[in-house]
Amino acid sequence: MEPVKDAIAKRAHVGTIGQYRALYAQSVEDPAGFWAKQAKRLDWFVDPLVVREEEEAEGTVDFSWFGGGKLNAAWNCVDRHVAERGDKTAIIWAKDEVGEYEHISYRRLKQEVCRVANVLRAHGVRKGDRVCIYLPMIPELAFTMLACARIGAIHSIVFAGFSAESLKDRIEDAGAKVLVTANEGLRGGKTIPLKATSDKAVDAVGDLVETMIVVRRTETEVPMKAGRDVWLHEEAARQRLSCPAEWMDAEDPLYILYTSGSTGKPKGVLHTTGGYLTYAAFTHELVFDVHEDDIYACVADIGWVTGHSYIIYGPLANGATTVMFESTPLYPDASRYWRLVDDLGVTIFYTAPTAIRAIERLGDEWVTKTSRKSLRILGTVGEPINPGVWQWYHDVVGNGKCAIVDTWWQTETGGIMISPLPGATPCKPGSATLPLPGIQPVLVDDEGNEVEGNDVRGNLCIKGSWPGQARTIWGDHARFVDVYFTRFPGYYLTGDACRRDEDGYYWITGRIDDVLNVSGHRLGTAEVESALVAHQAVAEAAVVGMPHDVKGTGIHAYCICTPAWEEKDRAEVIDVLKKQVREVIGAIATPDRLMVVPGLPKTRSGKIMRRILRKIAAAEYDDLGDITTLADPSVVEKIVDDHKAGK
Ligand code: 7RM
pTM for the full predicted model: 0.96
pLDDT tens digits, one per residue of 149-199: 999 999 999 999 999 999 999 999 999 999 999 999 999 999 999 999 999
Report the amino acid identity of residue 76: N
Taking alpha carbons only, the member of 154, 198, 117 closest to residue 475 is 154
Closest residue (by CA) to atom 7 of ligand 1? Answer: 383
CA of 519 to the centre of ligand 1 (A): 11
Taking alpha carbons only, the member of 523, 642, 533 closest to residue 590 is 523
Burial (CB count within 10 angstroms: exposed 0-12, middle 13-18, buried 19+), residue 464: middle
pLDDT tens digits, one per residue of 202-224: 999 999 999 999 999 999 999 99
Average pLDDT for 105-133: 98
pLDDT of amino acid 623: 85
Ligand 1 close to Cβ of residue 306 (< 6 A): yes
Helix 164-174 and helix 570-584: axis angle, to 10°? Answer: 30
- Among the residue ranges 51-65, 391-405, 466-480, the one predicted with the least confidence is 51-65
- Given pLDDT bands bounded at 50, 70 and 90, which one contains residue 263? confident
For domain 106-253, which CATH number applies: 3.90.1300.10, 3.40.1050.10, 1.10.3720.10, 3.40.50.980? 3.40.50.980
pLDDT tens digits, one per residue of 243-257: 999 999 999 999 999
Give 390-457 as a DSSP string: HHHIIIIISTTTSEEEEEB--GGGSS--B---TTT--B-TT--BSBPTT-EEEEE-TTS-EE-SSSEE
Q: With 90 as the cut, is the pLDDT of residue 99 above it?
A: yes
Q: With 90 as the cut, is the pLDDT of residue 604 above it?
A: no
Ligand 1 close to Cβ of residue 432 (< 6 A): yes
Q: With 90 as the cut, is the pLDDT of residue 342 above it?
A: yes
Q: With 90 as the cut, is the pLDDT of residue 148 above it?
A: yes
SS3 assignment for 482-534: HHHHCCCCCEEEEEEEEEECCCCCEEEEEECCCEEEECCEEEEHHHHHHHHHC
With residue 613 as reference, give the H or E element that holds it. Answer: helix 610-617
In angstroms, the CA 589 to CA 554 distance is: 9
pLDDT of amino acid 37: 98
Taking alpha carbons only, the member of 380, 480, 487 closest to residue 430 is 380
Ligand 1 close to Cβ of residue 384 (< 6 A): yes
Q: Which CATH class is domain 517-644?
A: alpha beta
pLDDT of amino acid 626: 83
Give, rounded to a whole angstrom, the gap between the first and last alpha carbons of the chain. Answer: 44
With residue 285 as reference, give the H or E element that holds it. Answer: helix 274-287
pLDDT tens digits, one per residue of 295-339: 999 999 999 999 999 999 999 999 999 999 999 999 999 999 999
pLDDT tens digits, one per residue of 469-518: 999 999 999 999 999 999 999 999 999 999 999 999 999 999 999 999 99
Cis link prior to 332 (omega < 30° from 0)?
Answer: yes
- Given pLDDT bands bounded at 50, 70 and 90, which one contains residue 381? very high
Task: Kindly give, in sequence order, each residue whose CB lies less than 8 Å from that of residue 230, ignoring residues fewer than 6 positions away.
Answer: 123, 211, 212, 213, 214, 224
SS3 assignment for 564-612: HHHCCCHHHHHHHHHHHHHHHCEHHHCCCEEEECCCCCEECCCCECHHH
pLDDT of amino acid 451: 97
Q: With 90 as the cut, is the pLDDT of residue 633 above it?
A: no
CA of 428 to the centre of ligand 1 (A): 18
> How do the domains of the chain map onto residue ranges?
106-253, 517-644
Ligand 1 close to Cβ of residue 429 (< 6 A): no
pLDDT of amino acid 627: 85
In angstroms, the CA 569 to CA 585 distance is: 25
Closest residue (by CA) to atom 6 of ligand 1? Answer: 383
pLDDT tens digits, one per residue of 568-577: 999 999 999 9
pLDDT of amino acid 293: 98
Burial (CB count within 10 angstroms: exposed 0-12, middle 13-18, buried 19+), residue 625: exposed
Give 180-213 as a DSSP string: EEES-EEETTEEE-HHHHHHHHHHTTTT---EEE
Taking alpha carbons only, the member of 165, 157, 103, 113 closest to residue 135 is 157
State what percent of residues in the chain have pLDDT above 70.
100
Average pLDDT for 615-633: 89
Q: With 90 as the cut, is the pLDDT of residue 632 above it?
A: no
pLDDT of amino acid 255: 98
Q: Give the other-Cβ count within 10 Å of 6's Cβ.
A: 9
Helix 194-203 and helix 164-174: axis angle, to 10°? Answer: 50
Give 37-95 as a DSSP string: HHHTTS--SB--S-SEEEEEETTEEEEEESTT-EE-HHIIIIIHHHHHHTTSEEEEEE-
The partner residues of 180 in beta bridges, in order of sequence, read 133, 213
Ligand 1 close to Cβ of residue 511 (< 6 A): yes
Q: Which residues of 538-564 are buried (b: 16+ CB within 10 A; e: fewer)?
A: bebbbbbbbebeebbbbbbbbbbbeee
In angstroms, the CA 256 to CA 258 distance is: 7
Ligand 1 close to Cβ of residue 508 (< 6 A): yes
pLDDT of amino acid 605: 83
Ligand 1 close to Cβ of residue 309 (< 6 A): no
pLDDT of amino acid 208: 97
Ligand 1 close to Cβ of residue 406 (< 6 A): yes
CA of 308 to the centre of ligand 1 (A): 15
Q: Which residues of 177-186 are buried (b: 16+ CB within 10 A; e: fewer)?
A: bbbbbbbbbb
Average pLDDT for 412-435: 98
In angstroms, the CA 319 to CA 489 distance is: 39
Burial (CB count within 10 angstroms: exposed 0-12, middle 13-18, buried 19+), residue 291: middle
Q: Which atom of ligand 1 is nearest to the CA of 380?
A: 18
CA of 384 to the centre of ligand 1 (A): 8
Q: Share the mean pLDDT of the chain.
A: 96
pLDDT tens digits, one per residue of 431-448: 999 999 999 999 999 999
Closest residue (by CA) to atom 19 of ligand 1? Answer: 382
**What ranges in 86-158 are assigned the alpha helix state H?**
106-122, 139-151
Which of 350, 405, 410, 514 to probe ligand 1 with, by most ligand atoms within 8 A of CB?
A: 410
Task: Check: CB of residue 153 under 8 Å from CB of residue 127.
Answer: yes
Q: Which atom of ligand 1 is nearest to the CA of 412?
A: 20
Average pLDDT for 538-554: 95
In angstroms, the CA 320 to CA 280 distance is: 13
